[in-house]
Amino acid sequence: MSTIDILLQKAKDFHGEICPGIVMGTRMTIAGMRELGLDPLTKTHDLIVYVEIDRCATDAIQAITGVSLGHRSLKHMNYGKFAATFINTATGKAVRVAATPRNPDQPTDMKEVAKMICNAPEEEIFTIQDVKVTILKEDMPGFPTHKDTCSRCGEGIMDSKEVIIDGKAVCKNCAQGSYYTIL
Distance, CA of 100 to CA of 27 (rounded, Å): 13
Closest of 19, 40, 142, 38 to residue 82, by C-alpha: 19
Handedness of CA 171, 172, 177, 181 (dihedral sign): negative
For domain 3-137, the question of CATH label 3.30.1330.130 is answered with yes
pLDDT of residue 156: 95
pLDDT of residue 101: 86
pLDDT digit string (tens) for 15-51? 999 999 999 999 999 999 999 999 999 999 999 999 9
Q: What is the pTM of this model?
A: 0.90
CATH of 143-176, one of 3.40.50, 3.30.60, 3.30.70, 2.40.360: 3.30.60
Question: Per-residue pLDDT for 110 more than 90?
Answer: no
* Structural domain boundaries in the chain: 3-137, 143-176
- Please report, to the nearest 10 degrees, the dihedral formed by the alpha carbons of residues 104, 99, 72, 174 taken in order: -50
Closest of 64, 58, 92 to residue 78, by C-alpha: 58
pLDDT digit string (tens) for 150-166? 999 999 999 999 999 99
